[in-house]
Amino acid sequence: MRRIASISTIALLLIALVAVAGGLHWTINRVYVPEGFSLQLRYKGPLVFGKRNPAKTGYWAEEGQIGVLQRLRGPGRHFYWPVWWERELVEDIVITPGKVGIVTCKLGDSLPDGEFLVDGDIGNTKFKGVMRKALAPGRYRINPYGYGVTIVGTQVKEENGAKKHSGWVSIPTGSVGVVTNLSGNPITKQSKGIQPNVLPPGNYPINGNEQEIDIVEIGFRESTLKYDKVRGPDGTVTHDESGEPLVVDNDSGISFPSSDGFTIQMDFTAIWGLMPEQAPHAVATFGNVKEVEDKVVLPQIESICRNNGSKYKAVELLVGDKREDFQVTNLEEFRKVLLDKEITLQYGLVRHIYIPKEVREPIQSAFIADETSLTLQQQQLTAEAEGALKEAEQQVDLATQTVDIETERKYEAALAEGDREAKGIDAETTKQVAAIEKLTAELNAQAKIVMATAENEGQQLIEEATADKFALAVEAFGGAEAYNNWIFATNLPDDIELKLLYAGEGTLWTDSNNLGLRANIPINPPKKAAPKSTSK
């Protein structure tokens, strides 16, 4: 009994110890991690027994080493004894749309000389420093002991008038992104500097430590060099007596001396632009689109127009084929210069040339005289044309009358011919109708004869059939008297009553009751009254 009691006591003690251990495990050791959080663990090492093995400074602790473990535990229940483990809840990193996460790796080896970006993904890095890959919008579970995340939006840095974009970069429609690598990329084999391939319109997470983006508007645009006009108090353009607009004497347009020493002023418009494949060269050479216009397009317009315009006399730039040659020469030379600089020219147009008054007025007077002479010549030609027109109108009237008379004559002839043909057709029709009516009468007569003959023959056949019927009937009854009796009998009514009376002398009165006659025969018939006499 003592042995059984000892065993029971030991069992109860074991059960109590298990219950206590379970309770401690469920209450003290249990850690609940909610959604949006993770559990970071740091191993403290053995309490009394065992060898303490600390992790290498600046690195993650491996299993069994004292230090912070790299792997985070996700949401849910976890059981770690706080004596051995330091437990800490870590909130997830959330990057909202329009933001970018720049990650800094805190643990690992130092980067080689000349490199300042860490390749790889979170949790799979070898060096410490800023990571090359930026985090796009989303939710991330990141151990803050090894990685730090800086959330940034759109970052714009201006260098020499050019805007460099990084962070959250949005390239609008009609533009491209020119990429500048701040360091080489061994993974993509891209070198440092401006890349030949551009980014199409869209949104991009860009690490400003690795790349910068120039947003370049592509397509055609217009650049114009033109003189400002002199305007009156009401804002309208002022003109001289010959109708030429007056310009302000400044450097707004293009000015050059002609070959005969006159000052020529001119307006010019160019339609030019950058294509996507030309954008990287423009950024590398000039900086941005504005610099392309200011450093290339406008200076080349002015230079080409001045050089070519100085080869012509003032009057040649005003009238004649030389003015057209000047336009074509400027366009071809301007297109070639821009093409060499990887700029596309769609069209270059000389809009207006302001010729000095002392050159323009004699030419205008000569033109006026020529125009007056031409006007007189045209008036004479107009008078001759009017005379020819009247003569032609008379000929048309005569021809019209002739046509009317000839038409009337042909109409009458056609009408008479039509009447003659109609009468002939009527006569022929009448003749054919009479012939048809005659044939119809003959056919009707023949039909009547045939019908009468058929009726007679049919009646004869009926009579013969009837006679044959009676002959056969008489023959069947054996004589005419028997046949007649049979006919008489078959025609008697069904309700006839036959009574046999003895016919002999003195039997009429006795049998009258049987015939129903006595009630109607009076026994003593009344005597007739004698006629009355009348006296006069």
In the block, which residue shows the tokens 């759109």? 154
Segment 9-15 mean pLDDT: 72
Residue count (the chain): 536
193-199/147-152 β-pairing: unpaired
What confidence tens digit (pLDDT) does each residue in 38-50 have? 999 999 888 767 6
Q: Greatest CA span in the chain, whole angstroms?
A: 200
Please tell me the number of Cα atoms within 13 Å of 226 on its side-chain side. 15
Give me the percent of the chain exceeding a pLDDT of 90.
42
Looking at residue 205, what is its pLDDT? 95
Residue 516 confidence (pLDDT) above 70: no
pTM exceeding the 0.75 threshold for the entire prediction: no
Name the band, by pLDDT with cuts 50, 70 and 90, for residue 506. Answer: low
DSSP secondary structure code for residue 137 in this structure:
S
Domain range list for the chain: 30-89, 93-217, 219-355
CA distance 290 to 271: 15
Q: What are phi and psi of 279, to 5 degrees?
A: -65, -45
Residues 6+ apart with CB under 8 A from 523: none
CA distance 488 to 486: 5
Looking at residue 529, what is its pLDDT? 47
Segment 231-253 mean pLDDT: 80
- Find the radius of gyration of the CA atoms of the chain: 68
Segment 492-497 mean pLDDT: 67
CA distance 433 to 140: 112
Looking at residue 501, what is its pLDDT? 54
Q: Which amino acid is at 108?
A: G
Looking at residue 224, what is its pLDDT? 92
CA distance 60 to 108: 8
Asked whether 305 and 311 are in contact (CB, 8 A), the reply is no
Q: What are phi and psi of 242, to 5 degrees?
A: -95, 0
Asked whether 271 and 345 are in contact (CB, 8 A), the reply is yes
Q: Tokens representing 251?
A: 């450097």
Choose the weakest-confidence range: 11-15, 174-178, 284-288. 11-15
37-43/85-91 β-pairing: antiparallel
Looking at residue 23, what is its pLDDT? 64
Q: Which residues share a beta bridge with 7?
A: none
Domain 219-355: what homologous superfamily? Band 7 domain (3.30.479.30)
What confidence tens digit (pLDDT) does each residue in 101-148 have? 999 999 999 999 888 899 999 989 999 999 999 999 999 999 999 999
Residue 20 confidence (pLDDT) above 70: no
What's the count of helices (H) and strands (E) in the chain, helices before strands?
A: 9, 21
Q: What is the DSSP string of 12-48?
A: HHHHHHHHHHHHHHHHTSEEEE-TTEEEEEEE---SS
Choose the weakest-confidence range: 71-85, 286-300, 390-404. 390-404
Asked whether 360 and 244 are in contact (CB, 8 A), the reply is yes
